[in-house]
Amino acid sequence: MAEASKKRARRSKASSDGRMLGCPSLVWGLVILGSLALNLVTIALLASIYEGNEPSGCRTQSAGLVAEDVREPQSSAKDEEEMVSAREISVSSTSGSRPASKDAVINLDHGDPTMYESFWRRMGRQGDITIAGWQAMSYFSDVTNLCWFLEPDFAHEIRRLHRLVGNAVADECFIIVGTGSTQLFQAALYALSPPDTTEPLNVVSAVPYYSSYPAVTDYLRSGLYRWAGDASTFNGDTYIELVCSPNNPDGSIREAALNSKNGKTIHDLAYYWPQYTPITHAADHDIMLFTVSKSTGHAGTRLGWALVRDKVIAKRMIKFIELNTIGVSKDSQLRAANILKVVSDGYELPICGSEHRLFNYGRKLMSVRWQKLREAVKVSGIFSLPEFQSALCKFTGEKAETYPAFAWLKCEKRGVDDCESFLRNHRILTRSGRHFGMEPKYVRISMLDRDETFDLLIERLSSLH
């Protein structure tokens, strides 16, 4: 009987195995079902672990936009200040790119001057330069010059351009080249600070001030200087005041807010060019900062220059750059020299037509853009913009309007206290007024991006009510 039972069991198993082998789809179905169940359990476990250990700096990302939770916890004034500084440079997947679709996030947080691309494309090979493999290999450019790493051709074209435009007295100043005006700003702070000071020198600027000033000033936590905020409310006799004119972010023409024999001033004139504002006089200050990025649009070249009256201050600025980067790229200087030459040639050579004139191109484009922006703001009814006075431009010889590189937009919509978050919800990245020492009802919007991006901005602003 036992033997018979064993035989029946073997026959039953064989029959079952035969049915399974005869139906492979059933086998694979069971395997797949088991695999899916195991994956679901694994995902659930990982999700619970992740939610309990998410890094504090992490935020949800959507459609290429690095979005921050609008419902942030309450923070102290110090935490708020540190938070603003930490967000100073916010690079997202949309930075520097063209909009991929009509629904794409548009990034107007930066002053990336890509609107100039079309002009330089139209110029063809005139802006091109070839640098031989053996060329510009030495650290030294001109050892007879105080700024020994300044390329002579670049210095020549800087002076030529300032004489042409009439926006600064350059012939009697020392020229110092830097890796953008930011390095020159740091060099100027170093040069103006007493080396034997027991207390850091206060650095101030009237609100709304350029958003990088606080972050760059305090970045190294130097014992020589420190950020002290709004110049218009500063009480003290010794300081460094930063004067940005035309001002970033609001486009206003600025003068120093403070006046003390112990005070020192740095004039940031990055936007004092005919495409943005009437040239009413030739600026003549102790330290004046300019940059290639906002004059010709070549931000990627990373070059700026300072015009400095005092030789001792110039030497200290040069020493800072020498210790910081051992000079400045010769390749960039040679390219920039050729770019500035093309700009000046467009006005000084009789064979050149109006299509070769950069400032004319820039001014016409800025005029059209500001007209479109004001119309969109009027249609929406929930925003406001500053108004500007026209003035006689000595460069053009005509009365001219002001067309700033940035729009200082205020949201007047009831219930909206944070304009940056409001616009971000509509896929527009801007920079909050908090970065500029102002309330978050204000945002700064770049006017310098490509046509595709700017057109999307106008379309979206017009649709908001």
Q: Which pLDDT tens digit goes with each residue over 383-437?
A: 999 999 999 999 999 999 999 999 999 999 999 999 999 999 999 999 999 999 9
User: Please, which pLDDT band fits residue 197 given cuts at 50, 70 and 90?
Assistant: confident
3-state helix/strand/coil string of 103-139: CCCEECCCCCCHHHHHHHHHCHHHHCCCCCCCCCCCC
- CATH class, range 139-348: alpha beta
pLDDT in tens, 153-178: 999 999 999 999 999 999 999 999 99
Amino acid 57: pLDDT: 36
* Exposure of 157 in the CB half-sphere (CA atoms within 13 A): 23
- Each domain of the chain, given as residue ranges in start order, spans 2-57, 77-119+356-463, 139-348
Q: What is the rounded (10 degree) CA torsion for 304, 310, 315, 316?
A: -80
Amino acid identity at 301: T
Average pLDDT, the chain: 85
Do 77-119+356-463 and 139-348 share a fold?
no
Three-class SS of residue 371? helix
Percent of the chain with pLDDT over 70: 78
pTM: 0.80
Burial of 173 (0-12, 13-18, 19+ CB in 10 A): buried
User: Domain 77-119+356-463: which topology?
Assistant: Aspartate Aminotransferase, domain 1 (3.90.1150)
Give yes or no for residue 63 having a pLDDT over 80: no
Task: Name the residue with higher pLDDT: 140 or 53.
Answer: 140
Compute the average pLDDT of residues 29-48. 50
Q: What angle do CA 160, 270, 84 make, to 5 degrees?
A: 160
Determine the pLDDT at residue 96.
62
